[in-house]
Structure 1
């Protein structure tokens, strides 16, 4: 006989009586009770989430979450099983932190995930993940990543040697800019691998090298990057949850639904019907000062003094390397051009998979549907793989964030089969088409805003 479902008040009372060390009287909850605990529905101020049918109260923990407080808050009141499995390598270690937060489990008559979700899709994806693990596709190839790092170092050294040997006249100046920009772009993708724990089998080695690479070789903060990027992966293209949408609505309106909403509200921060034109300048151009300011603001606010010291040493290092051989003014121009070209590359590559896709508020859909409606792929080729750091396989990367990028092509056919079985669109396009779709989608959403603003 199934135990009776508990009311919200009874659940909270028993939770308080049994709190401490994860030892709890066996209690059962419904999805409706969990859904109330988002921290935003008075009087239910707790933050609950579900992992593998177990219910956890993370109200006192989410601010200490190593991946950032907002990642856990984004899943408050929801099933976080697939996100949990996707982000963590060492489940046993993480379970030590979860155990004291355990307050109960779902009642036996409750489905494995929220009733509004496609249970068959969820079940099949979890089987696919087990298959992926059995195939060893989550294990990194150390030789591959060593060669990636080596070619970055050679590009970096080649830029400096060019200026040192040939001087800073026009031709060697721009050759140096090209080599250093390429090195920094490739370093973006390599630090991305480290941040996703896909270079080494042990999480701690990924974290350690990520901090060193980001601070000493890019002048950025690893923790700052983690805080933003994990939110993006947890809830891609979800307004107010994905920080990649932070420029909406101040500079751009993204997605036709949100564009129409903004137009109906008669809000006009910018002439959005021209956003596909000013994106070329304002998009990459404003990211450069934003990144520089937010990195230092974050490290100081969070009192990350080690990171602040390390990233400051990056600027000292490159100044000592370049100023003696090219002069201060020439170095400033050299550095600014490198950062501008790098941020342009980063913007176009990172947004070609997302801006043209569905953008909305969080609808709490299943993991596969949420990732597929927010991402698309770009055709595989040696150049595309190298140029984008394998982010042309954005679908596979979003479904399996810790998977080493050299295995994306192996899992892609399995993902396509899963999508075909459940009628989920799997989009793949050419690189130039993907770039063009950024502009086309901005034009469409800008026109949608304009029509709603003028006639709504």
Structure 2
């Protein structure tokens, strides 16, 4: 029996269930019907998505989604099962929010994921996810994260003691900058752990500690970071969905395909054929003012007054710690040099796994293929693990974003086996090679733009 067809005028209430005398008949849908509800295909203005074969209308909810409105919109008209499972620790609590949005389920003759996706990969990954949970690899080691935070605090204290004891002459100045920069960058990796709910077993504690430490120790807003970063994880390297690609095409031309399109359209905001040369300064140089502006603008716009107060507290604390020791002008040089170095550190580490990989529009492929096409790993070593905050295991992190970083190496062999079985490339390279590949990729995409621009 064919599933009933629904007109676009049918109300959400009518869609959910048809009841007669206490017995209810569940509404069934096809993947084709779901795919029309992206909010961008007239006259179908709803936003639907599928989780575990159940169909939800999130049209009135996505703007209130705690992870940000755009994360849900990015999956409108698609299967969001693996993304939903990856991002949420407490499924029971989240299901309470989903229940009122339920409008039906997939018809029995419909596959578990969209017909265009590789069903074997989808099923094998979900089995792997179940294995990971049974192995306890999603459970954090609180002592590990205590040591991580302790070493950040010690670096911050030693930075201040260096200036307090030795003064602000040239050598102690640069030693202090190096220590302060290292503390701040390591704090970036630690807040990243908290934001991904991987430090505590309870989501509430992760959120609370993330808000406090991100504001009071890092000087930034947790909700601002979550809003951007969750979009990146939901659709990595997908143009117009991954905010990490927002510098295309204003400053950089990213990906050969997008760069060629830019050239054919005769668009030239920058000399992209030289972007591999100006990335060193322009990348971190533009991120720094963007970060500093956003950390104040975002909480004010969203009325996140606690986060704003914590950010102000951080800035007052740092000023009171250093200005009496070195004077205002010297402190400004100390602080902004440190911020620039920290931003450079962050930029190179965060982009070494993504810029050299496939950059394209959203093709709505399966979760594993999407993440593997957009990410690569860097060789494991004690230094690489520490220097990158374990983001050298970018593949495992993207497949299992709530997994504590100390377990990445344990799941890596299982992920490699899955990739080998399905013929998906699992890329892993030395750290310096990964840095060099950023520049090689920028050069290649810049040349693709230049060729298309000159010959279009």
TM-score (norm 2): 0.98
Aligned to 2:13: 16
**Counterpart Cα distance in 2 of 1:98 and 1:351:** 34
Give the match for residue 350 of structure 2: 350
How do 1:140-159 residues align onto structure 2 when only pairs under 5 Å count? Answer: 140-159=140-159
Equivalent residue for 1:121?
Answer: 121
Give 1:103-118 correspondences, 5 Å limit.
Answer: 103-118=103-118
CA distance in 2, matches of 1:225, 1:255: 25
Q: Which residue of 2 aligns with 1:93?
A: 93
CA shift digits 1:330-356 (9 cap, x unpaired): 100000011000000000000000000
Deviations for 1:216-253, whole angstroms, at most 9, x for unmatched residues?
A: 01110000000000000000000000000000000000
Deviation, 1:380, is 0.2
2:2 aligns with: 4
Aligned match of 1:102: 102
- Tell me the residue number matched to 1:199: 199
1:71 aligned partner:
71
Match of 1:378 in 2: 378
Deviation at 1:185, TM superposition (A): 0.7
- The reply to whether residue 258 of structure 1 matches residue 255 of structure 2 is no
Q: Which residue of 2 aligns with 1:316?
A: 316
Kindly tell me the number of residue pairs found equivalent between the two proteins: 452
Q: Is the 8 A contact 2:48 2:58 kept in 1?
A: yes
Q: C-alpha displacement at 1:295, in angstroms?
A: 1.8
- Residue pairs, 1:333-348, within 5 angstroms: 333-348=333-348
Query: Which whole-Å CA distance do the structure 2 matches of 1:12 and 1:221 have between them?
Result: 41
Question: How far off its partner does 1:18 sit?
Answer: 5.6
For 1:90 and 1:7, how far apart are their aligned partners in 2? 34
Residue in structure 2 matched with residue 361 of structure 1 by the alignment: 361
Tell me by how many angstroms 1:114 deviates.
0.3
- Alpha carbon RMSD of aligned pairs, Å? 1.3
CA distance in 2, matches of 1:261, 1:424: 27
Alignment partner, residue 447 of structure 1: 447
CA contact (8 A) 2:16 2:26 kept: no
Give the gaps of 5 or more residues in structure 1.
Answer: none
CA contact (8 A) 1:57 1:101 kept: yes
CA contact (8 A) 1:36 1:77 kept: yes
Report if aligned partners of 2:184, 2:218 keep a CA contact under 8 Å in 1. Answer: yes
State the distance in 2 between where 1:221 and 1:210 align: 9
TM-score calculated relative to the size of structure 1: 0.98
Q: Secondary structure at the match of 2:289?
A: helix
Matched with 2:285 is: 285
Question: 1:305 Cα shift?
Answer: 1.1
The answer on whether the counterparts of 2:118 and 2:366 sit within 8 Å (CA) in structure 1 is yes
Residue 300 of structure 1, CA deviation: 1.0
Match of 1:138 in 2: 138
Contact 1:90/1:203 (<8 A) preserved: yes
Contact between 1:299 and 1:307, CA under 8 Å: does it hold in 2? yes
Q: In the alignment, is the contact (CA less than 8 A) between 2:15 and 2:27 conserved in 1?
A: no
Deviation readout 1:143-196 (Å, 9 max, x if unpaired): 100000000000000000111111111111111001000000100000000000
Q: Using the alignment, how far apart are the partners of 1:45 and 1:16 within structure 2? A: 16
Deviations 1:246-294, CA, capped at 9 Å, x for gaps: 0000000000000000011000000000000011111001100011112
Alpha-carbon contact 1:196-1:401 (below 8 Å) kept:
yes
Give me the whole-angstrom Cα distance separating, in 2, the residues matched to 1:109 and 1:430: 47
Q: CA deviation at 1:6?
A: 1.8
Q: Give the Cα–Cα distance (whole angstroms) in 1 for the partners of residues 24 and 327 of structure 2.
A: 67
Unmatched segments (≥5 aa) in structure 2: 18-22
Aligned to 2:20: none
The answer to whether the Cα contact below 8 Å between 2:35 and 2:78 also exists between their aligned partners in 1 is: yes
Question: What's the CA shift string for 1:33-56, capped at 9, x where partnerless?
Answer: 000000000110000000000000
Supply the distance in 2 between the matched residues of 1:19 and 1:424 (Cα, whole angstroms).
Answer: 39
How far the C-alpha of 1:19 sits from its partner, in A, is 5.5
Q: Distance in 1 between matches of 2:15 and 2:340?
A: 56
Corresponding residue number in structure 2 for 1:217: 217
Deviation at 1:5, TM superposition (A): 1.1
Q: In 2, Cα distance between the equivalents of 1:383 and 1:416?
A: 23
* Partner residue, 1:294: 294
Quote how far apart the aligned CAs of 1:297 are: 1.3
DSSP 3-state at the match of 2:26: coil
Using the alignment, how far apart are the partners of 2:113 and 2:390 within structure 1?
32
1: CA distance, partners of 2:343 / 2:101 = 41
Change (3 A) 1:221 1:24: farther
The range that moved more, 288-297 or 121-130, is: 288-297
Question: Structure 1 runs of 4+ off > 3 angstroms?
Answer: none
